[in-house]
Amino acid sequence: MTTPSTSSAVIATTLTGNNLIDSLIEGHLWASKSITYSFSGYDSYFSQDPITGYGPSTDTRSEPWSPSFAPLSSFDRFYFTEALQQWANVANIQFQLIPESFSSVGDIRVAYSSIASGQAHAYLPVNGAAKAGDIWVNADSTSATDIWTPGTYSFSTMIHEIGHALGLKHPFSGSPTLPGSWDTLSQTIMSYSAIAWNQNSELSFEPTTPMPLDILAIQYLYGKNNSYHSGDDNYFYNDYQTYHETIWDSGGTNDWLRYDGYQSSTIDLREGMGSSIGKPVYAETAVTQERIPNVWIAYDTVIENAQGGNGSDFLIANDADNFLRGGAGDDVLLAGVGRDNLNGGKGHDIFGFDAKGDFYLYDFNLKEDKFFFDPALGYGDIKDLVGGITDIRQYSTFAFVEFGNGMEIGLNGIQVSEITADMVLFSL
């Protein structure tokens, strides 16, 4: 149990050999998966130990003794709890709110105070340190006045600081560090950069969840939350909201990512990859602006199916058995390894193949649609492609084309005699 003068047990962790994880872990974590938190008030007690605590109460430079010390507002308490929940959704952590007293406080404590710079700072888990896990929000910053709604800088700051309180570090500090090209807020909320290599860049809409590398790291420390979205789930997106998040899905065999909007979107089902869905999110500097992926798939997450909207969409399958629906618009549907079902919907659609598998096309239109074969398959032109065909046959309403590399394509509603070379593309 944490008291004002002690911390709960903290244990050391070891590096994994995976830089994507090791660059984010400081080396310590809470020994218990049940982590308490509390909101400090004017009557709270703090350690005056000069080493493990905050020093004498006459030192107004220390957070608890600053004239700017204040408890969080009710709004900020609500959103702080929501930020905690974002970590609990992905990791095997249970947060419990407790009241503060002379003999008991949370492992994580939070309040406003004056700090040297920035929106907030947090103390990492350290065995025996009374201030371990404490989070201080700068009373002189916008986070002390703005409402911490998801998507704001203040809300992402709270997710970031909670990451520190749980044992995560900045990807650019300590050792090892994350390669600069990976060091972005869309990869890890522990970053300072909206654009890789540039800490002077910012986002038009901040992440509302831990991002792919954060989830990898926190799950290494505390384990996975295997009960979160463990069934067959639907993830719905539209044009009325802005999104910047990572999907962690722990199970199910028939999950759908569905977009019901009019923007031209990219939906990529592969783990660790990002999609551009709905209202654009931008990474910006004073002179540049670039649209970035805003919906990411966590590592070790499998979403089986995707449905595009009314724009011209680009849908990319993963290695599971997928169902891709393009919807309206001129869409590109790129199959993956496995047994994939593809339905382009209205418009001039392209059905692409860059991996071996069994693919079934349900609405190929001879007048409007095309095939795309990635040269990586070994088919650089129509001569190569024809040379790779080992069998063409009709079965019921399907025309099947079989290739020697293990790929088979079935076309519903098409006769073998209707297949021609002008249906094929080798570049997009």
Catalytic residue positions? Answer: 161
Q: How crowded is the C-beta side of 178, counted as CA atoms within 13 Å?
A: 30
Give the amino acid at 159: I
How would DSSP label each residue in 208-238? SS--HHHHHHHHHHH-B-TTTT-S--EEEEE
Q: In this structure, what are the phi and psi dihedrals at residue 348, rounded to the nearest 5 degrees?
A: -90, 105
Distances 51 to 98, 126, 128, 132 between C-alpha atoms, Å: 26, 12, 10, 12
Query: Which residue, 88, 102, 85, is CA-closest to 41?
Result: 102
The Cα–Cα gap between 275 and 266 comes to 5
R_g of the chain computed on alpha carbons: 26
Q: Is 205 helix (H, G, I), strand (E, B) or coil?
A: coil
Q: In this structure, what are the phi and psi dihedrals at residue 120, rounded to the nearest 5 degrees?
A: -170, 165
Distances 90 to 122, 210, 213, 362 between C-alpha atoms, Å: 21, 8, 12, 36
